[in-house]
Chains A and B, each alone.
Chain A
Amino acid sequence: MIEPQILDHPKDLLLRKERIPHIWCPGCGLGSVLSALMDALRTSGLDLKNVAVVSGIGCTGRAAGYLNLDGFHTTHGRAIPYATGLKLANPDLTVIVFSGDGDLAAIGGNHLIHAARRNVDLKVICANNFNYGMTGGQGGPTTPRLARTTTTSYGNVEKPFNLVQLMAACGASYVARWTSAHPHYMKIAMGEMLKKEGFSFLEVIAPCPTNFGRRNKLRDIKLLQRYLEQAVLESQPDIAKADIELDSPILCGKFVDLERTSYLAALREAISAKVKVYDFRGDGRVPLEEAPVKPAAAKAPGKPAEVPSERPIIERPVQIKLAGLGGQGIGLCGLIIGRAAAIFDHNQAVYTQEYSPEARGGASASSIIVASGQIHAPYVTEPDIMVVMAQGAYNKYQKDVRPGSRLIIDKDLVRPKDLPDSVRIQAIPATRLAEEIGQKVVANIVILGFFTALVPHISLTAMQKALKGSIPKGTEELNLRAFETGYDYGRGGTSDRA
C-alpha cells in the first residue's frame, strides 16, 4: 500500500508555520499581500538568508513575524530608519519594509520622505487600508474624504495623501500601486522591486472589512469587490490622476521606474574618490587591505615628546584668558598654548572656550589653565594673565581683570581704562608688526611670541613645537616670523603702562 505523503506547500518554507493562524480578520487584504511577497521572493533567485523584513506597528506590522526570514518588528513609524541601519551596516542584505499606511505615512511620514529623497536601497511595501485597523478603525492620513471612521463620525474632512505622487516627488526610483485583488500584478511589482537599486515603493490598497468597510457600507467581501471594480489598470498611468476618493476610480500600475543613483552607490562613489579603500562592511568580518593613513594623524604629534630640560614647574595653577573679536585667531592662540604646555612641556593644561551665538565678529575668549599638578575646576575664574586684542573684547572682559594680574594688549587696538594700579600692562603693536611682516592675520601669532617672551609658564621650545603642529601647511614661514617678531619685541624690553 502506498503511504499518503503530506508535502509542504511551496510557500510553507517561507512561513513560520508555528505562528499560524495569523491575527488578520476574514476578508482582510493583508494575507494576499504577504502571499504575493512570498511568491516574488520564491522566484527572485535571491539567497533568502540575506533577506530581512522590517515592520512597524499595526496589523500590517505583524507581517515581519510570519515570514521565516530575519524579521524585525520595531516601534511605531520607525521601520524605515531601522531598515536603513540594517542595510547600510550590511549592504549584502535585501531589506524589505512591510508596513501599513498609518505607520509609514503618519507617524513615520518624515522617515518615508527622507528615505525616498536619499534613495536608500529599501523595498517598501505599504498596505493601505485607509484606517488604523488594529486600534479600532480610527481615521488617518490616507482616509478618503467623507469616509467614516471611529474618529470621523461626521465624515472625514481632511484631504488624504496621494502616496504614489508623494513618493515620486521625493525621488523614489520605483513607484507602483495595486490592490490586494490583483495578486499577479502585485507579485510582478514586488519582483521588480527586489531587483531594483535604490528606493522602491509599492502601495497596495487592501480591504479592512472589520473596521473600514463596516463603517462605510461595504461589509465583508463587498469592499474587496469594490476595489476590484474601481481599479483602473493602465500601462502608463498618469500620476496626477492617482488621488483616491471614496467613490473614485483607483488608478493602478507602475508610476515610476527609473535608473537613479542609489544612496549606497552615491556614497561609494563620493568616498572612494577621497579615501583609498572604502568598504561598507560594518561588521569587521571582512579583512580589508591597509591604505596610507590620512595626514590628519600628523596634525598632532604621533609620539609623546621628550620632556624638555627647561620644563617650567608650575606649583599653583595659572589662569590665562585670551580675548578678542571673532576671526582674530584667539582660539588658535589658546590651542597652541595648551598644546605646548600639555604635550611638549609635560604639564597639565585645560582649555575652554566661551561661545557667543554669533559665528563671527562678537567678542570671544579662550581660556587655559596650566599647572604641573592636577587641574580640577575647568573654568578660568580669576585670570593671572589676560591677553586682549580688541577694544570690544576689552570692554566685555574688563570685569575679569583683577589686582596684581598681568594684562597683555595690542597697543594700537586696546586702550585700557579704570584699572587697579597693581595691574601690570604689557603692550605690543601686534597688528602693526604683523602688517609689516606682510599679513595682518598673523597678529595673533605675534602676540603669542610676545606672550612667550614674557610669561615663564610655557617653555620656548614647547611653544615653537606646538606652533609648528597647529598651523596650516604652507604658512609655516610666515607664522614663525610672526612668532619671532613678537618674541624679540618681548625680549627687547617691554613697555609697561604703554
Chain B
Amino acid sequence: MGKDVLTGTYFLTGNEACAAGALAAGCRFFAGYPITPSSEIAERMSIRLPQVGGVYIQMEDEIASMAAILGASWAGAKSMTATSGPGISLMLENIGLGVMTETPCVVVNVMRGGPSTGLPTLVGQADVMQARWGSHGDYEIIALSPSSPQEAFDYTIRAFNLAETWRVPVILLMDEVVGHMRERVVIPEKKDIKVANRRGPSEPPGKFKIFKSKKDLIPEMPVAGQGYAVHVTGLTHDERGYPAIEWEAQEKLVSRLVQKIRLNSAKIASWEETGVEGAEIVLVSYGISTRICRAVREMAREKGINLGLLRLEIIWPFPEKRVREMAGRIKAFLTVEINYGQIALEVERCAAGKCLTRLVGHGGGTVHDPKKVFQAVEEIA
C-alpha cells in the first residue's frame, strides 16, 4: 500500500496541502461534488485515497456528499468533504444531523464571494456566521481558518483531531486565495504528526448506552459492525439513542451538545497574539486577512504606531474571554475581514462598550489593500 504521509518539502496550493493533511490525519473516505474553488481537493483525494486503501466517491450533489461522509464515519472511517458557497448551503441540513448524532467528520468550505453564485474564482470571508449556526437548531461547532498552504496542511490535521476528540463536524473555513496560492509546504515525518482518534466503547455490548457521556461530556463511540446495535437518529434522543420527544430529553441532550464545546472552549479555542502588550489598537483578523494585517503592522511600526494583532486560528469557539480582558485596557479593536461585519459583531459583543470597535470590511473579490486598513488605523490612533 502507498504511503499516507509523503514527507518532504513542496511548493503546493492550499487545496493540495489540505488533501495531504487529510491523508496524514487518517482520512480514508471522501465524498464530494465538483465546485470552484475547492475542486482540486477532490481531484487530489481521488488520486491519493486509492493508494492508501481509502475510498473516493463523487456523489450526485453536495447533500448526498455530506450524508455519505456521515455514513462513512459511522462505519469507522475518518471522512471528509470539500465544497464552496452554494455547496455548503446544500450541506447544512446534514451538518445538523452530524451535530445531533455527534458524528466526527471534516467539512472544508473554500470560501468564495457570495451571496448565491457570486464570485466562483475570487475570495470572500462571508460564510463565517453560516459556519457557526447555518443549520437549524441550537448548537456549537468548531471552525478553523488557515492563512497559508502550510497551515492548510497543519489545520486539516487539527480539524480531524478536533472532530475525533469532540465528536462534532469540524469546518475548515479556507479562503479562496489560500486554496489556490502556492507556497512552500513542509510535510513532516509520519512519526512527528500527532493524530487523535475517537474513543471507542470501554464496555461490551449489552448494557452499554451509546450516547451516555463521560465527564468531559463526550460519549464513547462504537461503530456499525461492532455488535453494539447502535441506534442513531436525528430526533431528540436519550442515552440509548432512542427517540425521546419531550422537553426534558431535549434539555439534557441539546445542553450537552452546546456545553461540550462551550465549557471546553479554553481547550479548543486557539489564537495568536502579536504585539498586543502595550498596544492601544488591536487588529482582529483570520485567514488571508491576517497576512494583510501583518503588512499593516509593518506600516504602523514605520510611523511609530503600536499596533497589536489578534489572529483567530480557530474562529469557533471564539476567544470571548480574551477579547473581554483586552477590551478593558485598549483604545480600540479594528476587525479586518472580507465581509460587511461578522466577526466584528462578536468583537463588539465581547468588548461590551469598554473600548471602540470598528470594522474594516468589503464585499469580497480581492483581499484588503493594506493602505486602506492603515488609513482606518490612523483615523482612530
Among residues of A, the one whose C-beta sits closest to the C-beta of B71 is A85
Map CB proximity to A onto B190-206 as digits: 1 under 8 Å, 0 otherwise. 00000000000000000
Q: Mark A33-75, 1 if CB is under 8 A from B, else 0.
A: 0000000000000000110101000000000010011111111
Within the complex, the shortest CB–CB distance from A42 to chain B, in Å, comes to: 15
Contact flags (1/0) for B61-99 with A, using CB distance below 8 Å?
101110111111111111100000000000001100100
Residue of A75, A276, A352 ringed by the most chain B CB atoms within 10 A: A75
Q: A70-B230, A377-B292 are in contact. Are A89 and B76 (CB under 8 A)?
A: yes
Restricting to B219-237, which residues have a CB under 8 Å from any CB of A? Answer: 223-235
Nearest neighbor of B293 in chain A, beta-carbon distance: A376
Asked whether B76 lies within 8 Å of A93 as measured between CB atoms, the reply is no
By the criterion CB–CB under 8 Å, are B181 and A351 in contact?
yes
0 or 1 for each of B42-76: is its CB under 8 Å from A? (1 = yes): 00000100110111010111011101111111111
B153-198: which have CB < 8 Å to A? 177, 180-184, 186
Q: Does A169 sit within 8 A of B, measured CB to CB?
A: no
Q: Within 8 Å CB of B76, what residues of A?
A: 89-90, 282-283, 285
B322-362, CB under 8 A of A: which get 1 and which 0?
Answer: 00000000000000000000000000000000000000000
Contact between B71 and A89, CB atoms less than 8 A apart: yes
Q: Is A293's CB within 8 Å of the partner chain B? A: yes
Name the segment of A125-133, A213-221, A337-345, A420-428 touching the other chain. A337-345
Cβ of B8 to closest chain A Cβ, rounded Å? 4
Are B181 and A352 in contact, CB atoms less than 8 angstroms apart? yes
Q: With an 8 A cutoff between CB atoms, is A349 at the interface? A: yes
Which B residues, 1 to 34, have Cβ-Cβ distances below 8 Å to chain A? 1-3, 6-12, 26, 28-29, 31
Contacts of A7 in B (CB 8 A): none
Contacts of B9 in A (CB 8 A): 300-301, 303-305, 343
User: B10 near A85 (CB under 8 angstroms)?
Assistant: no
Residues of A close to B3: CB separation below 8 A: 293, 297
Which residues of chain B have C-beta atoms less than 8 A from A288's C-beta?
Answer: 1, 53
Interface readout for A276-294 with B: 1 if CB under 8 Å, 0 if not?
1111111111001111011
B 302-326 to A, binary, CB cutoff 8 A, 1 in contact else 0: 0000000000000000000000000
B8 x A303 contact (CB < 8 A): yes
Question: Which residues of the other chain, A, contact B73 by a CB distance below 8 angstroms?
Answer: 85, 89
Q: List the B side residues contacting A69 at CB < 8 Å.
A: 229
Chain B residues contacting A276 (CB-CB under 8 Å) are 1-2
Give CA–CA (A353, B176) in the complex, Å.
Answer: 12
With the chains together, A72 CA to B233 CA distance in Å?
6
Interface centre among A68, A291, A343 (most CB of B within 10 A): A343
A89 and B77 contact, Cβ closer than 8 Å, known pairs A343-B9, A376-B294: yes
CB distance from B219 to the nearest CB of A (A): 16
Q: Is A92 an interface residue (CB 8 A)?
A: yes
Q: CB distance B1 to A377 under 8 Å? A: no
Cβ of A350 within 8 Å of any chain B Cβ, yes or no, is yes
Our pick among A85, A293, A351 for the contact of B68 (Cβ within 8 Å) is A85
CA of A289 to CA of B2 in the docked complex: distance in angstroms? 9
Q: Is B134 an interface residue (CB 8 A)?
A: no
Please judge, given known A-B contacts A52-B224, A348-B183, whether A278 and B50 are in contact too, CB under 8 Å.
Answer: yes
Cα–Cα, bound, A19→B237 (Å) = 13
Q: How many residues of B contact A (CB 8 A)?
A: 75
In the complex, are the beta carbons of A90 and B224 less than 8 A apart?
yes
Residues of B within 8 A of A278 (CB): 50, 53
Q: Is the CB of A111 within 8 A of B225?
A: no
A90 vs B229: C-alpha distance when bound (angstroms): 16
**CB-based nearest B residue for A287:** B1
Number of interface residues of A (CB under 8 A): 80
Give A79's nearest chain B residue, CB to CB.
B67
Q: Mark B230-261, 1 if CB is under 8 A from A, else 0.
A: 11111100000011000000000000000000
Beta-carbon contact of B50 and A351 below 8 Å? no
Contacts of B229 in A (CB 8 A): 16, 68-71
Separation of A52 and B75 alpha carbons in the complex (Å):
10
A494 to B54, CA, bound (A): 54
**B367 proximal to A (CB < 8 A):** yes
Known: A71-B232, A283-B75. A271 touches B8 (CB 8 A): no
Q: A302-B8, A303-B8 are in contact. Are A81 and B51 (CB under 8 A)?
A: no
Q: Is B265 close to A, CB under 8 A?
A: no
A395 interface hit (Cβ, 8 Å): no
Q: Mark A310-353, 1 if CB is under 8 A from B, else 0.
A: 00000000000000000000000001001100110000111111
Task: Give Cα A415 to B224, complex, Å.
Answer: 68
CB nearest to A271 among chain B residues: B50
- Whether A439 is near chain B, meaning CB under 8 Å from some CB there, is no
Which of B47, B177, B232 touches A72 (beta carbons < 8 Å)? B232
Q: Is A413 an interface residue (CB 8 A)?
A: no
A408→B9 CA distance, assembly (Å): 30
Q: Can you add 19 more A-B contacts, CB < 8 Å, to A277-B1, A296-B6?
A: A65-B233, A84-B64, A85-B75, A86-B74, A86-B75, A87-B71, A88-B75, A89-B29, A89-B75, A89-B79, A90-B77, A90-B225, A300-B9, A304-B8, A338-B11, A342-B183, A351-B183, A376-B298, A377-B367
On A, residues with C-beta under 8 Å from B are 16, 18-19, 49-50, 52, 54, 65, 68-75, 77-78, 80-90, 92-93, 110-111, 114, 267, 271, 274-285, 288-291, 293-294, 296-297, 300-305, 335, 338-339, 342-343, 348-353, 355, 374-379
Q: 6 interchain pairs (CB within 8 A)?
A: A65-B243, A85-B72, A280-B53, A293-B6, A376-B292, A378-B291
- Chain B residues at the A interface, C-beta cutoff of 8 Å: 1-3, 6-12, 26, 28-29, 31, 47, 50-51, 53-55, 57, 59-61, 63-65, 67-79, 93-94, 97, 121, 177, 180-184, 186, 223-235, 242-243, 288, 291-292, 294-295, 298, 366-367, 370
